[in-house]
Amino acid sequence: MLHVAEAARVSVATVSAYINGTTTVSQELSGRIEQAIREIGYKRNAIARSLKLGTTRTIGLTVPHITNPFFTDVVSVIQQAFDRAGYAVMLCCTDEDLNNQDEQIRLLLDRMVDGLIIARVGDGAYLKETVERANVPVVLVDREVDGVDSDRVVLDNHQAVFEAITYLLELGHRRIGYITGAFNITPMRDRMTGYHEALLNAGVAFDQSLVRSGDLHEADGYTAAMQLLSLHDRPTAIFSANNPMVVGAMKAIRDLGLSCPEDVSVICFDDFPWADVFNPQLTTIAQPVQAIGEQTASLLLDRLNGNREAPSRRLVLKGRLMVRNSCRPVQALTSVPTVVAASST
Partner DNA sequence: TGACTAGTTCGAAACGTTTAGATTAGCTTT
Partner DNA sequence: AAAGCTAATCTAAACGTTTCGAACTAGTCA
Residues of the shown chain interacting with DNA in the complex, contacts defined by CB under 7 A: 1-2, 9-14, 16-17, 19-20, 22-26, 28-29, 42-45, 48-49, 51-54
Check binding of 88 to a second copy (CB under 8 A).
Answer: yes
> What distance in Å separates the CA atoms of residue 47 and residue 176, rounded to the nearest whole number?
56
Q: Return the one option of DNA, a second copy, none that residue 17 interacts with (CB less than 5 to 8 A, by type).
A: DNA
Contact (Cβ atoms closer than 8 angstroms) between residue 33 and residue 25: yes
Check binding of 108 to a second copy (CB under 8 A).
Answer: yes
Q: Return the one option of a second copy, DNA, none that residue 24 interacts with (CB less than 5 to 8 A, by type).
A: DNA
Minimum separation from the CB atom of position 129 to DNA (A) = 19
Check binding of 24 to a second copy (CB under 8 A).
Answer: no
166-171 LR contacts (CB < 8 Å, sep 24+): 166/198, 166/201, 166/202, 167/267, 167/283, 167/321, 167/323, 167/327, 168/237, 168/239, 168/265, 168/267, 168/327, 169/198, 169/199, 169/202, 169/204, 171/237, 171/265, 171/327, 171/328, 171/329, 171/330
What letters, b where the CB count within 10 A reaches 16 and e where it falls short, cover 151-171? bbbbbebbbbbbbbbbbbbeb
Check binding of 323 to a second copy (CB under 8 A).
Answer: yes
Q: Return the one option of DNA, a second copy, none that residue 26 interacts with (CB less than 5 to 8 A, by type).
A: DNA
**The only residue of 2, 51, 200, 316 in contact with a second copy, by rule CB under 8 A:** 51
Check binding of 76 to a second copy (CB under 8 A).
Answer: yes
Neighbours of 302 (CB within 10 A): 16
Minimum separation from the CB atom of position 130 to DNA (A) = 16
Report how far apart, in Å, the C-alpha atoms of 126 and of each of 31, 69, 133, 141, 147 are: 53, 28, 11, 17, 11
> What distance in Å separates the CA atoms of residue 47 and residue 309, rounded to the nearest whole number?
28
Nearer to a second copy, 112 or 182 (CB): 112
32: Cβ–Cβ under 8 A, 6 or more apart, which residues?
8, 9, 10
Contact (Cβ atoms closer than 8 angstroms) between residue 74 and residue 141: yes
Check binding of 104 to a second copy (CB under 8 A).
Answer: yes
Stretch that binds a second copy, among 85-93, 139-147, 224-232, 296-304 (CB under 8 A): 85-93
Mask of contacts with a second copy, 119-138, x by CB under 8 A?
--------------xx----
Residues 145-184 that bind a second copy (CB under 8 A): none
Interacting residues toward a second copy by CB under 8 A? 41, 43-48, 50-51, 56, 58, 65-67, 69, 72-73, 75-76, 79-80, 83, 88-93, 95, 104, 106-112, 133-134, 218, 244, 247, 250-251, 254, 273-274, 276-282, 323-325, 343-345
